[in-house]
Each structure stands twice: as C-alpha cells, then as structure tokens.
C-alpha cells in the first residue's frame, strides 16, 4: 500500500492564534485557530484521506473496514485494555491522535482521566495520555505541570478557594523540549507556545481553572468534581517528565532517529534527515508529521518517490517495509 495522506481538521479556540499560516502554510478558518487535528479518527474531528486507493474515506472508516492496513493494532489495543481490566465491545477506536496546538493565550488549567475513569464516567471513552514536542516558544514562556498540594483535602481546598498562586507549578519551556503527560497530571500550555501533541484518541478534558474569562458572554464550563477525583496527589514528577521514558532505537530506525518516549500507549521518535537515511516500517502503522524542511520518501525497490514537506502528515501502513528519506527535514513519528 502507498502512504496515506490526510487532510487536517482545524479547531477555533478562545486561546488560538494565526501562526499556522506562516509556519505551515495552512488554510486556517480564522485568526483564533488553536488546534490542527492532523491525524485523527475521532468523531469530533475525523480526518479525510487525500489521494491514493482510499481517497475521500474518513480515517475512522478505513480503521473500521480495513484492519489489514493497520496490522494487529486492533488486537494490541484490546489486549492493553484487557490488562487494565477493561473489556472492549467490538473493535476499539483508532488508538492515536496527532495535533498541532498554537497557543496565542494561555490554555485552561486542566487534567485528563485515565482509561478506567473515562470508560466509567465518559460513555466508554479512552482516557488521555499525551506528550508534547515544543515546536516554538517565545522567550520567557512557561508551562504548568503539576501542583503543590500534599493531600487530597488540601487539593480540594486550594481549588475550591482559588488559591492558584500556591497551587500550580510552572516551569520554563523552550523550543525542542519534550514532555510526557500522564493522566492525573495538572497541566496547561501557556501563551506563546506551539507544540506537536501525540495522544490517545480521546477528547476528554477537565478544566480546573480558566482565569475567569468569558466566551460568548459566559464563563466556560469547569469540571471541579471530576478534577478533584482524578488529579494525582501529591505530585511526584513521575506523572510528567521532560524526557518521558526514553526508548532504545527500534530495529530499522536509522542513524538519524532520536527516540523520545516509549509507554504502553505509544512510541514517539524524532527523525533528523540531512542527506539520506534508510528505515524499515515493520510496525502496525507509523504516523509521520513533517515539522521542518522538505525532501522525498521512496520505498525500497522503487525509483520514484513522493515529495514531503513541512506541514504534511501521513501514515505508513502495515507491511510498508523498507524506505528511504532524502533531503533536509525533521519529522515526528509515532506508533503503538
């Protein structure tokens, strides 16, 4: 099978900006565009396939009707859920979602549930583990990761009485940083930051604090009870890391591969191409996002490859085999 290219879905947000035009040349819907759902089969932003055998299909439809494209990914996801004590009825949803986030203003202080809580309280949804590769950050920018409450009682008191200065932890953020955010971790991307996010296929976010701002004349919904339920106390730092859990380079990864994180939900790596390097795609599928430069991808045994450039997102299907990347570019790739 050929590479599977996808059309992005864009989301306008109260905190969004317009940088995706200049950075990636995207045709965004407005100057408050906060999110590009670049590889998504979620019902709230289902990407359409562009070109090739599956042209015009939604990614969710391809997942549901052509499991051969994704190898044994469905079974891997079922086995993982079963190991967590969760029995999935039928085929689980496509496991991953890739976004670009442009934060012109601060996002809400928020937290995500794990699979068990989301399955029980959010109509069978997956939980949300995510990781961030920082594409850009203005000088002096910080992000929120973690909190200072020592007990759940203190946590509830700090939230309910708005003791935000005592409660949240902020750390500096720079271009090229990488953060792994596990469920139960209080966090917030702040204004002046652009990231590429790899996450579980979930859209469940619990807002703890939103700075009192209004949308359409009304405060946005907060989720205080759910947040107190799922925030891990105390914050130890193991719930979030600027390095994640670095993995050893998989076989066929190539000399230009930098592993970023390996966890039970995904493997993420960065590829830095300066010339030519060869790889083997022997995983259930491989999501690729070109975040800098341009070049060409050519399958082993073929002479004519395809041009890929900054802003492109595509999937290499199961059984794709060997391929060469040539040019000057940087990619973030993920798999399960």
For residues 196 and 94, the answer to whether their CB atoms sit within 8 Å is no
Give the phi and the psi of residue 24 in degrees, each rounded to 5: -125, -5
For residues 246 and 275, the answer to whether their CB atoms sit within 8 Å is no
Residue positions counted in the chain: 336
* 3-class SS string, 38-77: EECEECCEECEECCCCCCCCEHHHHHHHCHHHHCCHHHHH
For residues 108 and 188, the answer to whether their CB atoms sit within 8 Å is yes
CB atoms under 10 Å from CB of 56, counted, come to 10
For the chain, report the end-to-end CA distance as a whole number of angstroms.
19
Helix or strand (DSSP H, E) at 207: strand 206-209
Of 19, 104, 207, 299, catalytic: 207
Indicate if 82 belongs to the active site. no
Active site residues: 207
């Amino acid at each position: 099978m050929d590479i599977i290219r996808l059309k992005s879905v864009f989301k306008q947000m109260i905190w969004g900006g317009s940088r995706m035009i200049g950075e990636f040349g995207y045709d965004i819907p407005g100057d408050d565009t906060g999110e590009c759902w670049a590889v998504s089969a979620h019902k709230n932003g289902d990407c359409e396939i562009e070109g090739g055998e599956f042209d015009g299909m939604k990614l969710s439809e391809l997942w549901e009707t052509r499991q051969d494209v994704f190898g044994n990914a469905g079974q891997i996801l079922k086995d993982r859920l079963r190991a967590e004590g969760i029995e999935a009825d039928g085929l689980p949803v496509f496991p991953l979602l890739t976004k670009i986030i442009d934060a012109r203003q601060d996002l809400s202080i928020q937290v995500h549930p794990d699979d068990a809580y989301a399955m029980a309280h959010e109509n069978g949804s997956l939980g949300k583990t995510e990781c961030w590769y920082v594409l850009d950050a203005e000088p002096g920018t910080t992000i929120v990761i973690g909190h200072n409450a020592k007990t759940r009682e203190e946590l509830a008191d700090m939230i309910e009485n708005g003791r935000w200065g005592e409660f949240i932890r902020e750390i500096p953020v720079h271009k090229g940083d990488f953060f792994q955010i596990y469920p139960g971790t209080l966090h917030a991307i702040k204004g002046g930051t652009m990231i590429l996010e790899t996450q579980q296929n979930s859209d469940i976010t619990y807002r703890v604090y939103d700075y009192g701002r209004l949308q359409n004349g009304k405060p946005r919904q907060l989720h205080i009870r759910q947040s107190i339920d799922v925030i891990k106390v105390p914050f130890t730092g193991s719930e979030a890391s600027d390095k994640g859990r670095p993995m050893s380079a998989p076989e066929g990864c190539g000399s230009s591969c930098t592993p970023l994180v390996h966890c039970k939900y995904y493997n993420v790596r960065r590829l830095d191409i300066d010339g030519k390097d060869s790889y083997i795609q022997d995983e259930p599928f491989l999501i690729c996002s070109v975040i800098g430069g341009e070049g060409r991808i050519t399958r082993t045994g073929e002479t004519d490859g395809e041009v890929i450039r900054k802003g492109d997102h595509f999937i290499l299907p199961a059984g794709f085999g060997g391929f060469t990347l040539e040019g000057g570019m940087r990619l973030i790739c993920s798999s399960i």
